[in-house]
């Protein structure tokens, strides 16, 4: 009984090694057609072919296929394109803020320098009243404060 169990255990241990070491043969028939098989044919010139089998990885994680890698690359490219577009939008916004800041500061300087300011309203030139000048000063100060300070990030807004 022990002998049968020992023989069975040895056979079970050797089976994967036999399957792993199995040969594949290549031959060409009389019509010039190439064949592959696991049994050696008789009467034909036979060539034994070495086969590399993949070994399962220890992590249990399969390597991604070509289509999966292509999809991943496409997603990465789309992300990069989106970042470039966002960067371009941020650059345009920054330049606009700089222009608004410069205009507001220039207007504030003019208001603070001149006691009397002429403005064209309804096609006519007239002097602004002190109340209108103060109103314009406040408007330009608000614009300068909004555009001349460093831009806030999305988290600070």
* pLDDT tens per residue across span 63-78: 778 888 989 999 999 9
Interval 45-54 mean pLDDT: 76
The reply to whether the predicted model has a pTM over 0.85 is no
Domain boundaries, the chain: 2-49, 71-148
pLDDT band at 18 (very low <50, low <70, confident <90, very high): low
Residues ≥6 apart with Cβ < 8 Å to 79: none
Between strands 118-121 and 46-49, the pairing is: unpaired
**Token pair 């504030």 in the structure block, residue:** 108
pLDDT of residue 155: 42
Q: How is residue 100 written in tokens?
A: 């608004």
**44, 29 in Cβ contact below 8 A?**
yes
């Amino acid at each position: 009984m022990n002998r049968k169990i020992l023989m069975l255990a040895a056979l079970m241990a050797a089976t994967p090694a036999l399957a792993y070491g199995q040969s594949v043969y290549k031959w060409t028939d009389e019509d010039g057609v190439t064949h592959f098989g696991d049994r050696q044919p008789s009467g034909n010139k036979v060539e034994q072919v070495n086969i590399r089998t993949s070994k399962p990885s220890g992590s249990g994680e399969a390597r991604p296929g070509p289509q999966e890698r292509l999809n991943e690359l496409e997603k990465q490219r789309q992300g990069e394109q989106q970042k470039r577009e966002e960067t371009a939008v941020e650059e345009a916004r920054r330049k606009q803020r700089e222009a608004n800041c410069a205009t507001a500061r220039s207007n504030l300087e003019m208001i603070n320098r001149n006691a009397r300011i002429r403005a064209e309203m309804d096609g006519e030139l007239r002097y602004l009243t002190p109340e209108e000048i103060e109103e314009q000063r406040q408007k330009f100060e608000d614009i300068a404060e909004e555009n001349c300070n460093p831009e806030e990030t999305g988290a600070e807004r």
